[in-house]
Amino acid sequence: MSYKANFRVWRGDVDSGELRDYTVEVNEGEVVLDIIHRLQATQAPDLAVRWNCKAGKCGSCSAEINGRPRLLCMTRMSTFSAEETITVTPMRTFPVVRDLVTDVSFNYTKARQVPSFTPPEGLKAGEYRMEQVDVERSQEFRKCIECFLCQNTCHVIRDFEDNKPAFSGPRYLMRIAELDMHPLDVADRQKAAQEEHGLGYCNITKCCTDVCPEHIKITDNALIPMKERVADRKYDPLVWLGDKILRRGKTQ
């Protein structure tokens, strides 16, 4: 059940680029990444794309398909009709390197700004005791494959480049929540989440949750509880949030 599909793929680099049209064979059961590979092997040997596992486990192949942030290797061709033109573009929030490959160093910089796991002093290796129920919440966040699709989607940085220095994005706010909820972490995470990583910028739109290929409930399980924890410590996030929105409203 092969057919010829119409693909439009963004080709270019930092300086310039364009959508280029291709007609390419599609076979039963294939995913978008298979088609990109077929283009490489038959029509565009220098088409740049990142991928590793081809099984949704490494988070390398993030891009936008018909404008929606997705993993190329987990998007089945059967979700499109044979007539549809499928447009593949690089993640928009990060600078383009070439074709579908973007410069994601922003994320590595942010990762480095989150202080590491801090166990209680004197607790020796082999002596850690934790209940399954107590580790489950953090385990959910550790399912993250660092595809950066949530980072790409969050309007706080997608639409406002200037926010990048002050806002770590859902992936790293969730990392802070993960450590805050780790049964044996002793560091104080809440103040830093608000003051250094921009938790307050998040206005819980849940767009990050919607695109997460691991189906992690980023907003409900990480960001909102984190906001509540911060609020309990006498920050008033609603007032603060209101301020933010008003201010943004004024400057626009």
Q: Which residues bind ligand SF4 (CB under 6 A)?
A: 59, 144-150, 153-154, 156, 170-171, 174, 202-208, 211-214, 216, 218-219, 223
Among 32, 47, 59, 189, binds ligand FES (CB under 6 A): 59
Asked if 47 interacts with other proteins (CB under 8 A), we say yes
87 Cα distance to chain centroid: 20
DSSP element (H, E) containing 80: none
Edge to edge, what strands does the sheet with 85-89 contain?
17-26, 3-12, 85-89, 62-65, 68-71
Q: Pick the stretch among 16-24, 53-61, 83-91, 136-144 that binds ligand FES (CB under 6 A).
A: 53-61
| Binding track, positions 149-188, relative to ligand FES; x by CB under 6 A | ----------------------------------------
CA angle 115, 119, 124 (to 5 degrees): 145
74 Cα distance to chain centroid: 15
CB of 209 to other proteins, least distance (A): 16
Q: Pick the stretch among 29-37, 162-170, 186-194, 241-249 that binds other proteins (CB under 8 A).
A: 29-37
Residue type, 136: E
Among 8, 20, 37, 54, binds ligand FES (CB under 6 A): 54
Residue 125, binding choice from ligand FES, other proteins, ligand SF4, none, Cβ under 5 to 8 Å by partner class: other proteins
Q: Pick the stretch among 45-53, 75-83, 97-105, 226-234 that binds ligand FES (CB under 6 A).
A: 45-53
Distance CA 241, CA 244 (A): 5
Residue type, 163: N
Which of 200, 214 has the CB closer to other proteins? 214
Closest CA to 33 of 63, 58, 57, 10: 63
Q: Given CA atoms 184, 190, 191, 194 in this order, what sign does their dihedral have?
A: positive
| Residue 243, C-beta contacts closer than 8 angstroms, at least 6 positions apart | none
CB of 55 to ligand FES, least distance (A): 6
* Cβ-contact 200, 191 below 8 angstroms: no
